[in-house]
C-alpha cells in the first residue's frame, strides 16, 4: 500500500468520526517513538512488590501471586469474549486451546511456590499475612460465574440447605466457597470472608445476573450438536482448572503446612485440606459432558484421564 493510500485511509477514518484529520496528523508529528519499557510499563510493574517483612523470599511469594492474577486475567479475558459473542465452534476451539495453555501455566508454576521459598522463612513471614488469603481472589470467582450455572457451584451440603427455585442472592448464600469462612452453627463469619464479601459480593451477584442464561455451559447446552474436538477441549479445561490446579495447590500447601505433621492453619482460617480437594467441593463447569462414573470419581485424576 502506497503512502498516499495510507494517508487517505487515515483521513477517512477521522472524517467518519467527525474529526479533523489534519489535527491528528499534526499530533502524530509530535508523538515520541514507543519503547518496550513504556509500552509494558516495566518500571511500574517492578515497583508493585510490597513486602511486610525483611525475609528475602517474601518477594517471591508476592510476585508469584501477582503473576497468577495476570494469568487469571488472561483466562477471564477469553471467557468474557465467549460469553458476549455468538457461538462459533471454531472460535471456541481456539479459545479453549488458549484457556488450556493458560491453565497449564497455573499448574506448572506452583513449583515456584513449592521450591522457591525457604521453608522456615515462609512459615515465619506467613503469619504477617493473616487474614489475607488466596481465597480472596475475585477473578477466580468471576471465572466460575461466567463458566457455569450457579447450581454447579453449590456443594452437597449446600444442596441440602437451599430451597426450591432459588434466586441469585440465595445461591450466593449457599455457594461452596462460603463454607470456608462461615460457621453455619454459630452464624459467625471469619474476617477473611467478611472482607471479601464487603468488597466483592455485590459485583459477583451483578455479574451472575448479567450472564444468566448465557454462561459457557448454557451456551453449549443450547447447541443442537458440538464436535468431539470441542468436547475434548472443554473437558480438558474443566479438569485442568477444577482438578489438576487445586490438587497441585493442595500438594504445595501440604509441603509448607503439614509436611512435618504440624497441620498448620491457613492464613484465612479455612480447613484447607477440604477446601482445596476437588473431591469435597465437586466443582464442575460442564457436568453434562462427563459420564456418571467421571462425576462420581471427580478429583481422581486417573479416572478422568482414561474414561
| pLDDT, tens only, 245-259 | 988 988 887 877 766
Written as nine digits, the cell of 150 is 450457579
The answer to whether residues 119 and 229 belong to one domain is yes
267 three-state secondary structure: coil
The residues, ordered by sequence, that sit 6+ positions from 159 with a Cβ below 8 Å of its Cβ are 174
Residue 36 lies in a domain: no
| pLDDT over threshold 50, residue 307 | no
pLDDT at 195: 97
pLDDT at 26: 92
The answer to whether residues 199 and 137 belong to one domain is yes
Beta carbons of 109 and 64 less than 8 angstroms apart: yes
The answer to whether residues 9 and 117 belong to one domain is no
Domain that holds residue 288: 41-306
The answer to whether residues 85 and 23 belong to one domain is no
Residue 181 lies in a domain: yes
User: In this structure, what are the phi and psi dihedrals at residue 41, rounded to the nearest 5 degrees?
Assistant: 55, 50
Q: What is the mean pLDDT of residues 178-191?
A: 92
List, for residues 207-246, the tens digit of each pLDDT value. Answer: 999 999 999 999 999 999 999 999 999 999 999 999 999 8
Residue 247 lies in a domain: yes
Residue 176 lies in a domain: yes
Alpha carbon distance 106, 103 (integer Å): 5
pLDDT at 113: 87
Alpha carbon distance 188, 287 (integer Å): 32
CATH number at residue 118: 1.20.58
Beta carbons of 298 and 230 less than 8 angstroms apart: no
Residue 174 lies in a domain: yes
The answer to whether residues 58 and 22 belong to one domain is no
Residue 302 lies in a domain: yes
List, for residues 42-78, the tens digit of each pLDDT value. Answer: 999 999 999 999 999 999 999 999 999 999 999 999 9
Q: Where are the beta strands (DSSP E) in the chain?
A: 182-183, 188-189
Q: Per mean pLDDT, which of 132-136, 143-147, 157-161, 272-276 is the most reliable?
A: 143-147
| pLDDT over threshold 80, residue 7 | yes
The answer to whether residues 129 and 272 belong to one domain is yes
The answer to whether residues 209 and 128 belong to one domain is yes
The answer to whether residues 82 and 201 belong to one domain is yes
List, for residues 264-289, the tens digit of each pLDDT value. Answer: 555 555 565 666 677 677 789 999 99
The answer to whether residues 9 and 98 belong to one domain is no
pTM: 0.89
Peptide bond into 283 cis (omega under 30): no
Q: Specify the number of domains making up the chain.
A: 2
List, for residues 73-122, the tens digit of each pLDDT value. Answer: 999 999 999 999 999 999 999 999 999 999 999 999 999 988 989 998 99
278 three-state secondary structure: helix
The answer to whether residues 62 and 198 belong to one domain is yes
The answer to whether residues 163 and 277 belong to one domain is yes
Residue 108 lies in a domain: yes
Residue 217 lies in a domain: yes
pLDDT at 275: 61
Dihedral angle computed from the Cα positions of residues 170, 185, 282 and 162, in that order, rounded to the nearest 10 degrees:
-30
pLDDT at 180: 87
pLDDT at 270: 58
User: In this structure, what are the phi and psi dihedrals at residue 106, rounded to the nearest 5 degrees?
Assistant: -60, -40
pLDDT at 241: 96
DSSP labels for 189-256? Answer: E-HHHHHHHHHHHHHHHHHHHHHTT-SHHHHHHT-S---HHHHHHHHHHHHIIIIIHHHHHHHHHHHH
pLDDT at 142: 98
Beta carbons of 302 and 226 less than 8 angstroms apart: no
182 three-state secondary structure: strand
The answer to whether residues 25 and 71 belong to one domain is no
pLDDT at 237: 98
pLDDT at 265: 59
Alpha carbon distance 103, 97 (integer Å): 10
Q: How high does pLDDT run on average in the chain?
A: 91
pLDDT at 259: 61
Amino acid at each position: 500500500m502506497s503512502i498516499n493510500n495510507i494517508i487517505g485511509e487515515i483521513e477517512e477514518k477521522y472524517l467518519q468520526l467527525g474529526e479533523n484529520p489534519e489535527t491528528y496528523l499534526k499530533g502524530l508529528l509530535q508523538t515520541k517513538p514507543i519503547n518496550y519499557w513504556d509500552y509494558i510499563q516495566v518500571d511500574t510493574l517492578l515497583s508493585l512488590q510490597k513486602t511486610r517483612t525483611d525475609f528475602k523470599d517474601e518477594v517471591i511469594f508476592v510476585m508469584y501471586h501477582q503473576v497468577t492474577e495476570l494469568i487469571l486475567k488472561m483466562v477471564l479475558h477469553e471467557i468474557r469474549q465467549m460469553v458476549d459473542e455468538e457461538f462459533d465452534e471454531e472460535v471456541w476451539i481456539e479459545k479453549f486451546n488458549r484457556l488450556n495453555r493458560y491453565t497449564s501455566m497455573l499448574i506448572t508454576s506452583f513449583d515456584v511456590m513449592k521450591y522457591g521459598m525457604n521453608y522456615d522463612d515462609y512459615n515465619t513471614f506467613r503469619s504477617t499475612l493473616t487474614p489475607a488469603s488466596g481465597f480472596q481472589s475475585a477473578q477466580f470467582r468471576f471465572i466460575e460465574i461466567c463458566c457455569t450455572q450457579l447450581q454447579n457451584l453449590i456443594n452437597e451440603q449446600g444442596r441440602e440447605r437451599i430451597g426450591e427455585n432459588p434466586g441469585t442472592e440465595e445461591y450466593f448464600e449457599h455457594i461452596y466457597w462460603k463454607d470456608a469462612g462461615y460457621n453455619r452453627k454459630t452464624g459467625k463469619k471469619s474476617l477473611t470472608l467478611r472482607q471479601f464479601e464487603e468488597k466483592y459480593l455485590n459485583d459477583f451477584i451483578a455479574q451472575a445476573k448479567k450472564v444468566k442464561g448465557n454462561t459457557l455451559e448454557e451456551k453449549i447446552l443450547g447447541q443442537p450438536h458440538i464436535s468431539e474436538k470441542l468436547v475434548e477441549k472443554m473437558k480438558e479445561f474443566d479438569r485442568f482448572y477444577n482438578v489438576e490446579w487445586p490438587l497441585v495447590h493442595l500438594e504445595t500447601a501440604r509441603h509448607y503446612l503439614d509436611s512435618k505433621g504440624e497441620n498448620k492453619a491457613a492464613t484465612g482460617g479455612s480447613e484447607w485440606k477440604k477446601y482445596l480437594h476437588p473431591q469435597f467441593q465437586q466443582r464442575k463447569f460442564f457436568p453434562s459432558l462427563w459420564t456418571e462414573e467421571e462425576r462420581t470419581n471427580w478429583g481422581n485424576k486417573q479416572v478422568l484421564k482414561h474414561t
